[in-house]
């Protein structure tokens, strides 16, 4: 599993606009007066920028990723208060959790398996750490104007999203529900909020890139109309409106909410 810096830069404005502001503020509060934040799958540091202006004090960031290029970009965004940790996220025992006050992950857990989430919850609960998981895909895609193949393509795409992305069978659109269940069972109070992408003609470049990925995944999942659908949708990207559903989740150790 990996993402290019170009793709992450293209999606970042939509990600920032989509995050639920009240949940982001609550996550910043959970980080405490001297925030030490571990960011899993940090990419280029989008989460750092999302937290700007919300934290009680400048944070010390522990940036975790397996891509050295992305780690370098993220470290530059965080400045001198960041350390980088090149870790395969399947190796949860290597996460730098000691002394942390918050763990975050953005647009990551829908790619992971239930077993991985359970192991993460076990690790974080052992340290009494809150967890903020943003932008988990929820399986809902809507387009305007509508196309007769929208529902079939969405169904096929969601089937593809449940395939193995490197962590075992991925949660895909079930991510938020499973995270809430697993962390709840591990002794956490759960707060959730919707955080959909709302894409317009101003996001035409992002729509086109997104459509290419959706159509390819749906075709791989057996949807025969995916290629034709993708071409039609791409040609309409300069005028279309698109809703891609996500959910944000904040898991707080009981008694700290």
| pLDDT tens string 19-49 | 999 999 999 999 999 999 999 999 999 999 9
Q: Strand, helix or coil at 176?
A: helix
pLDDT for 2 equals 56
pLDDT greater than 60 at residue 64:
yes
pLDDT for 254 equals 86
Percentage of residues in the chain having pLDDT higher than 70:
99
Confidence of residue 257 (pLDDT cuts 50, 70, 90): low
Percentage of residues in the chain having pLDDT higher than 90:
95
> Can the peptide bond before residue 221 be classed as cis, meaning omega within 30 degrees of 0?
no
Pair 42, 74: CB distance under 8 Å:
yes
Q: Label the pairing between strands 82-86 and 188-194.
A: unpaired
Least reliable range by pLDDT among 1-10, 152-161, 197-206: 1-10
252's CB contacts (< 8 A; 6+ apart) are: 30, 130, 188, 189, 190, 191
pLDDT for 256 equals 73
CA distances from 12 to 2, 155, 239 (A): 16, 26, 21
This prediction has a pTM of 0.95
**What is the third-level CATH fold of 5-253?**
Rossmann fold (3.40.50)
Q: Output the average pLDDT for the chain.
A: 95
pLDDT greater than 90 at residue 207:
yes
Confidence of residue 210 (pLDDT cuts 50, 70, 90): very high
What does the domain layout of the chain look like in residue ranges? Answer: 5-253
pLDDT for 1 equals 47
Quick: pLDDT tens for 174-189: 999 999 999 999 999 9
Q: Strand, helix or coil at 2?
A: coil
């Amino acid at each position: 599993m990996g993402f290019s810096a170009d793709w992450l830069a293209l999606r970042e404005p939509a990600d920032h606009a989509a995050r639920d502001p009240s949940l982001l503020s609550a996550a910043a509060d959970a980080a405490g007066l001297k925030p030490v934040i571990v960011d899993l799958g940090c990419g280029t540091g989008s989460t750092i920028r999302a937290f700007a202006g919300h934290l009680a004090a400048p944070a010390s960031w522990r940036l975790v990723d397996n891509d050295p290029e992305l780690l370098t970009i993220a470290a530059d965004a965080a400045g001198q208060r960041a350390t980088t940790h090149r870790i395969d996220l399947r190796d949860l025992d290597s996460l730098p959790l000691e002394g942390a006050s918050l763990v975050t992950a953005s647009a990551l857990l829908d790619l992971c398996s239930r077993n991985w989430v359970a192991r993460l919850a076990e690790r974080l609960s052992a340290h009494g750490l809150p967890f903020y998981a943003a932008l988990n895909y929820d399986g809902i895609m809507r387009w305007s104007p509508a196309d007769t193949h929208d529902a079939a393509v969405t169904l096929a795409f969601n089937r593809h999203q449940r395939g193995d992305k490197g962590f075992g069978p991925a949660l895909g659109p079930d991510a938020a529900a499973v995270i809430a269940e697993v962390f709840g069972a591990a002794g956490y109070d759960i707060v959730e909020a919707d955080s959909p992408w709302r894409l317009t003609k101003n996001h035409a470049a992002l729509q086109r890139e997104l459509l290419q990925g959706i159509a390819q995944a749906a075709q791989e999942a057996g949807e025969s109309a995916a290629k034709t659908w993708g071409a039609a949708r791409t040609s309409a990207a300069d005028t279309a409106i698109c809703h891609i559903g996500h959910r944000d989740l904040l898991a707080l150790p009981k008694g700290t909410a």
